[in-house]
Amino acid sequence: MSDRNAVFLQEMGLGPLWQRRDNPGAVHPAPSAGALEAATVDDGLPVAPGFDAPPAQEVARMDWAQLQASVAGCVKCGLCHGRTRTVFGVGDAKARWLFIGEGPGRNEDLQGEPFIGQAGRLLDNMLAAVGLRRDENAFIANIVKCRAVDESGRDRPPTAEEAAACMPYLERQIALIQPTILVALGKTAALSLLGLDPDTPVSRLRGKVHEFAGRPLVVTYHPAYLLRSPAEKKKAWEDLCLATATYAAAD
């Protein structure tokens, strides 16, 4: 464990340091040369008027630029009406690590980038603890690309229908990025990817390696939840260690 990573773990509120006994060195995934050379992607284009959403089969054939344009103009579900900007995702388009959250909140909707603000800073610290940066060797996406709000204008989780409508975009992102490992951040991401009952708690999904799109998937808590429940940060660190060991075995 380097001093730098120790600082990040401290930032996460995880001191004193904790390591897996069975794999104490597995905290530094080696970023691939291709990942470091790849272009950074940061899209949040305004809605293109008159642009309709293509069927899933068409999405499955798109290249990266076509996918970005399609998301920017998508009106496939009701979330298109309340959004300011779509949030395509951010990071290395050839990243070996793909982190998947729920959907954009208020700030993300305004700026067109996922995980802004306090939760975003915590996620960045979690990434740094395992040698990752969102603008270098990781990609961050969401289950839905548009902000979901309730009748009072407060953020809410997307419905199963909204998640299903948006899923072809995420599936195509995964097919184009070809990450080695997926990490689901929170309940909505985990349940949407695994197709599980909405009552399934995240705690039941942690500590094991799942599969999505033929790739290993590790489930951990959403950074916003960790901010509300700091005692759970140690469990998030355990999840990152599991993800790192899984990555090392798979890459």
Position among 26, 67, 79, 189 found at the interface with ligand SF4 (CB under 6 A): 79
Strand-by-strand arrangement of the 210-212 sheet: 40-43, 89-92, 138-142, 97-101, 181-185, 215-220, 210-212
Position among 12, 38, 41, 74 found at the interface with ligand SF4 (CB under 6 A): 74
Helix (H, G, I), strand (E, B) or coil at 199: coil
Q: Does 77 bind ligand SF4 (CB under 6 A)?
A: yes
What length does the chain have? 251
Position among 12, 41, 76, 100 found at the interface with ligand SF4 (CB under 6 A): 76
Q: How far is the CB of 70 from ligand SF4 (least distance, A)?
A: 8
CA separation, residue 224 to residues 90, 118, 120, 229 (Å): 18, 8, 8, 9
Q: Which is nearer to ligand SF4, 130 or 165 (CB)?
A: 165
Position among 41, 146, 174, 226 found at the interface with ligand SF4 (CB under 6 A): 146
Answer yes or no: are the C-beta atoms of 123 and 115 closer than 8 Å.
yes
Position among 27, 165, 170, 202 found at the interface with ligand SF4 (CB under 6 A): 165
Question: For residue 18, which of 4, 5, 31, 29 has the smallest C-alpha distance?
Answer: 5
- Backbone φ and ψ for 97, nearest 5 degrees, come out as -115, 130
Helix (H, G, I), strand (E, B) or coil at 155: strand
Q: Does 166 bind ligand SF4 (CB under 6 A)?
A: yes
Position among 86, 192, 220, 244 found at the interface with ligand SF4 (CB under 6 A): 86
Position among 85, 96, 134, 145 found at the interface with ligand SF4 (CB under 6 A): 145
- Return d(Cα 134, Cα 156) in angstroms, integer: 25
Q: Which is nearer to ligand SF4, 31 or 168 (CB)?
A: 168
Q: Which is nearer to ligand SF4, 94 or 145 (CB)?
A: 145
Task: Collect all residues with Cβ–Cβ distance below 8 Å to 234 and sequence separation of at least 6.
Answer: 14, 18
Q: Does 144 bind ligand SF4 (CB under 6 A)?
A: yes
Q: How far is the CB of 124 from ligand SF4 (least distance, A)?
A: 24
In the complex, the residues that contact ligand SF4 under the rule CB under 6 A are 53, 71, 74-77, 79-80, 86, 144-146, 162, 165-166
